[in-house]
Structure 1
């Protein structure tokens, strides 16, 4: 029966039975509907519920389709079960819309103005459309509340404005969307530590697109989505995400993105904490921060990805990142299966230079694993490891050396490993032991490159052997007493002591020096030519050769230690 309805409401019922569109206020902008006193613009929310319950007769499968109507009263669909779509375009709902534990078909509010929307446990076989809508609510429960809801189609908030000054704008913990979630070009403003957009444990089977969106929360995260699962790509390209506090601006702890995570040209800001806080994040595709502007604060880092696993590439080309009080990038224990495109200039404009670096940029690369570097020279990456990490750790050096060795650049790998030992001596000297151990380590580095560079050591050995031979030759030229020299032929047994000594040949003198200087492997020339140790000059020469011998012992020991150490440290 429709005799109890106004003329406008009778038109609504008839249009619903035919599945036709009905425009209640043609030519009236939606912004003006809220203040309109024209009864022809009004449709009671109670009537819409009655229609969906079938109390006004059978409805067309195309559903209730109203445009430019002012809906009065609370539109209460709690517990409702209906297959009839509800499509309200550019309408005004001054009081809350509720669909708690309802099971409905498509709900569409495109271009409409709504107060609080509460739909916890909603089961929608179709889509929930809020494209271009304005939702203004209040309270800790959220302006658009979809806790534990299940949307069979899309959740489309493209170009929507969702605002809550005292709580989350979108609160949707445990939300399941079987298709896509769109916040493209949306303006979202929330408040509080729960986040402006809160999606803890939510599952989006398709893509989650926030490209060009503006999400702001001055007292908590902009996007709070720990445990989020996205079946395709998460788009933050061109978005502005501004949050506050230690939880981060974009928070994705333990999230899993089955496609790519793209933040290209995004602006992500948090002046009191991390910008991207994503410990344990898993991205099955690529992670793009290309061209992004990232501004964070605090010791924990601007971009936090400790323990993250990126199965594609990690691309930060042209990213601008700042943090005046802590790390720029925290990649500790992160893993990238593809290439790493992190230009060193992102951290330090002077990367690749020799000597100390005073630039304040810091990164954590401890146990960061990757397969290839692109858009960054190995020397530049080595600069970051040696001068822009917070403490000495061996793994980043070993990782870079392994990359260079795999590329066939063994010389580069050796230079990296030498730099590792230099950094150990510079930043963790206590690990080497006492003062004498550190002195030996320093000498070993300068002479043998810690076992990775043998040319200097070989040259030192050659010079020491030359000094030994020269000492023997010089000994043959130094007179000790009349007719004798510091080095001379050995007098045969039984010869008179007054017999004049015979001078050794040049070859014999050089051989004598080598014989005396070599720690091992005598030449046998001392049986013919030897030092006269009964005189002071002969003793002085003997002492000099002993010193050369000690140097040779040390060099040979370093050579053996360096060689065996090289074998053990080959990546």
Structure 2
């Protein structure tokens, strides 16, 4: 049956004076109600004054068109108490509804309804139940107070579709038994605003629940206060926004392993901004943004208001997940932690960046993790290393900002929970890409030292670890090959010095023969220098080098050699054998080191 043919539940002759005024105003598109003075909505909620009360049935009749044609500007009522539950379930309204500064103590339900627009600005409502609501324009609850006691939520917008913006600025949403705002699978064509909104909820669903919501513009929580003592303050898992997400100066206090603010697998079409925000969770992460993806930057910076007051971003959490967890996140712009104050009240990491990818600058000042901003990469442990750690396993970034490579190296050595090679390789790649090859080599040297210190079992037994330690001392693990060349030259000099020393020692008391001296000439005719004659200084040095060289000979031994029939000669021969073995080893390591350097990409 056509709605126009259905008689209203409240005929005109049964309307109060105020209700007739509302009817006439709706036909003219004018506001009705208490317009000339303001009454506190708390007082309206308990008043019985007929001059301040409008029955819910009249509003339903008006929106169904049962009182005839209404002005397209909608039903506009201000400063009244709505008597009874305002039931608009499955109503297809002929015009919009605005209840401003009014009280709806019995609640408001519009499940699966269709309205051109809905506004409850500055009104007091005991629950807004709008599952599946379709609004062509915007939804406005600016300055509204919603108090409820239900597990499903104080404001229930699950599956709703808003054709414009959804605005809750300055509102107070309270629910002692569930979410203050439950809007999973909500879709808006415009932005979502909860600026300066206070939302107090209860339970694991979150004080504000935006699970799988799709916001066609921005999601803005600037200056909001979100509280939940038994779950997340903001649960936005799988949230999708076409614009930015902003929580500037937002205060969010949550509880539990899901985080105070939960953005697991959220997709942000612009920036994610937490400047000046304060997120607190004493039993889990302050910010849980695992698998977050942003097309723009991530910012946890200081906020400066119009009066010049500065407010740092403060994140305090607890547990192994970290105070700020960005595990496997993908930041399409910069990741900026300038002057952020991050703390874990237990023994967990401050920031988890495992498997994260930052496409722009990673701006993480060293003092965010290490208050002293130290640059030492070895020696004693940093005094803050046990309680202030960062997890960077698999982190990829093109450039560092706010931290020198030495400070970042200090963080890798002293402020990571375990040795891992990839973070060092990443830092070395960044330095190499910037043309700082020497810095890259130093990073890789420190990597090997950290391996030897924190994961010695990976090197093998005690002998293997000792050999690796020697390799590090001699050639800096192949990254300082010139040290091997110097060591090779030193051993050669020692071999020459050994030959010279042998020429100064006699074979025994009362004899003129020396441990190293002229040998018998190979041809009887060559008698110009008889055997037993002392060798010259050059010949003695050449003798040591000749016996020490692993390959090639100088020919000196044909004229001057050790007398191995004596004890001293045998001792010097053994010494030179040892030096020859060292030269073999050093020569091999030098060739290997230089070959490795040649193969490294520039």
Instruction: Tell me whether the two structures share a fold, i.e. TM-score over 0.5.
Output: yes
- Residue 390 of structure 2: aligned partner: 363
Alignment counterpart, residue 312 of structure 1, candidates 323, 333, 337 = 333
Q: Check the 8 A contact 1:328/1:347 in 2, yes or no.
A: yes
- Residue 164 of structure 1: aligned partner: 175
Q: CA deviation at 1:353?
A: 3.7
For residues 495 and 47 of structure 2, what CA distance do their matches in structure 1 show? 109
Alignment counterpart, residue 429 of structure 2, candidates 384, 402, 415 = 402
More displaced, 32-41 or 440-449? 32-41
Alignment counterpart, residue 505 of structure 2, candidates 469, 474, 478 = 478
Q: Check the 8 A contact 1:268/1:293 in 2, yes or no.
A: yes
SS at match of 1:17: helix
Q: Check the 8 A contact 2:521/2:559 in 1, yes or no.
A: no
Alignment counterpart, residue 464 of structure 2, candidates 432, 437, 441 = 437
Q: Check the 8 A contact 1:25/1:69 in 2, yes or no.
A: no
For residues 531 and 564 of structure 2, what CA distance do their matches in structure 1 show? 17
Q: CA deviation at 1:22?
A: 1.1
- Residue 98 of structure 1: aligned partner: 109
Q: CA deviation at 1:25?
A: 6.5
- Residue 13 of structure 2: aligned partner: 3
Matches within 5 A, 1:383-394: 383-394=410-421
- Residue 12 of structure 1: aligned partner: 22
Matches within 5 A, 1:101-500: 101-290=112-301, 291-323=312-344, 324-354=346-376, 355=379, 356-359=381-384, 360-480=387-507, 482-493=511-522, 500=531
Q: 1:83 to 1:505 in 2, by over 3 A?
A: farther
For residues 415 and 500 of structure 1, what CA distance do their matches in structure 2 show? 55
For residues 399 and 265 of structure 1, what CA distance do their matches in structure 2 show? 30
In the alignment, structure 1 residue 523 sits paired with structure 2 residue 554: yes
- Residue 4 of structure 2: aligned partner: none
For residues 488 and 441 of structure 2, what CA distance do their matches in structure 1 show? 21
For residues 585 and 275 of structure 2, what CA distance do their matches in structure 1 show? 57
Q: Check the 8 A contact 2:96/2:117 in 1, yes or no.
A: yes
Q: CA deviation at 1:475?
A: 1.5
Q: Check the 8 A contact 1:26/1:68 in 2, yes or no.
A: no
For residues 112 and 272 of structure 1, what CA distance do their matches in structure 2 show? 36
Q: CA deviation at 1:476?
A: 1.6
For residues 568 and 361 of structure 1, what CA distance do their matches in structure 2 show? 38
In the alignment, structure 1 residue 53 sits paired with structure 2 residue 80: no
Per-residue CA deviations over 1:375-394 (Å, capped at 9, x if unaligned) read 10111100111111111100
Per-residue CA deviations over 1:166-186 (Å, capped at 9, x if unaligned) read 110001110001100000000
Q: 1:77 to 1:536 in 2, by over 3 A?
A: same
Cα RMSD of the aligned pairs, angstroms, is 1.7
For residues 492 and 122 of structure 1, what CA distance do their matches in structure 2 show? 114
In the alignment, structure 1 residue 43 sits paired with structure 2 residue 54: yes
TM-score normalised to the size of structure 1?
Answer: 0.97
More displaced, 44-53 or 26-35? 26-35
Q: CA deviation at 1:275?
A: 0.8
For residues 316 and 389 of structure 1, what CA distance do their matches in structure 2 show? 18
Per-residue CA deviations over 1:428-473 (Å, capped at 9, x if unaligned) read 1111111111111101111111111123322211211110111111
In the alignment, structure 1 residue 507 sits paired with structure 2 residue 530: no
For residues 186 and 143 of structure 1, what CA distance do their matches in structure 2 show? 14
More displaced, 558-567 or 386-395? 558-567
Q: CA deviation at 1:320?
A: 0.6
TM-score normalised to the size of structure 2?
Answer: 0.92
Q: Check the 8 A contact 1:352/1:382 in 2, yes or no.
A: no
Unaligned runs of 5+ residues in structure 2 are 1-10, 302-311
